[in-house]
Amino acid sequence: MRVTERAEQAAKVLKGLKTLYPDAQCELNFGSPWELAVATILSAQCTDKRVNAVTPHLFKRYPAIEDYVKADIKEIESIIRPTGFFRSKSLSIQESARTLLKDFNGKLPKTMAELIRLRGVARKTANVILGTAFSLAEGIVVDTHVKRVSFRLGLTKKTNPALIEKDLMAVIPRKEWIFFGHAMVRHGRRVCAARKPLCQSCLFKSFCPQGIKNT
């Protein structure tokens, strides 16, 4: 599709998402920007449901950022083990806490450039934090669901998340970036699954290249 065609397609998708998921938002549970950062780090290669099952114990055990720095990393590993990759995630959380205390007075920064200085925080995670915690639209979250659904809908032909994000940012109005990411994630989980997409019952089937092929 040319850019103009992708823009027209994006407008149809956005309209449909607002019909299906008008209140779409991040499904991770958190009580502060720091807790959201921790939960988002834990969500890598893990479901939000499993993360939400782990974080209540974690957040109760370590209520302050300082607590993570002082903690025995083996204990953090033990708590977050169900989320997978627990050793690297534990190190990311502890090092991020240390960086926040050292360089940002213990407060999560509100810029992309500063957030990605934290261990375990790449652009996708930073977009989640900025959009969800601070309502700042610096980009569009591109996780596995957004990547899959965007490709199937013809909004991008790219496979690299950074390039997919650029394609999406070019055709989605900036004021909708935060909502779009959350709604696309929800659609990917509920309808446009990786193995068995529910094309027959999908609202987008009449203009989705994948849906047309499967119906």
Catalytic residue numbers?
A: 124, 143
CB-based burial, 128-150: b 16+ in 10 Å, e otherwise: bbbbbbeebbbbbbbbebbbbbb
Provide, for the chain, the percentages of residues in helix, strand and coil under a 3-state DSSP scheme, each rounded to the nearest 5: 65, 0, 35
Please give the C-alpha separations between residue 53 and each of 5, 14, 181, in angstroms, as whole numbers: 42, 31, 23
Contacts of 176 (CB under 8 A, 6+ apart): 14
Coil vs helix vs strand at 172: coil
Rg (CA), the chain: 18
Q: What are the tokens at 34?
A: 């720091």
- Identify residue 178 by its one-letter amino acid code: I
Q: What burial class does residue 159 get, using C-beta atoms within 10 Å of its C-beta: 0-12 exposed, 13-18 middle, 19+ buried? A: exposed
CA gap 41, 134 in Å, rounded: 17
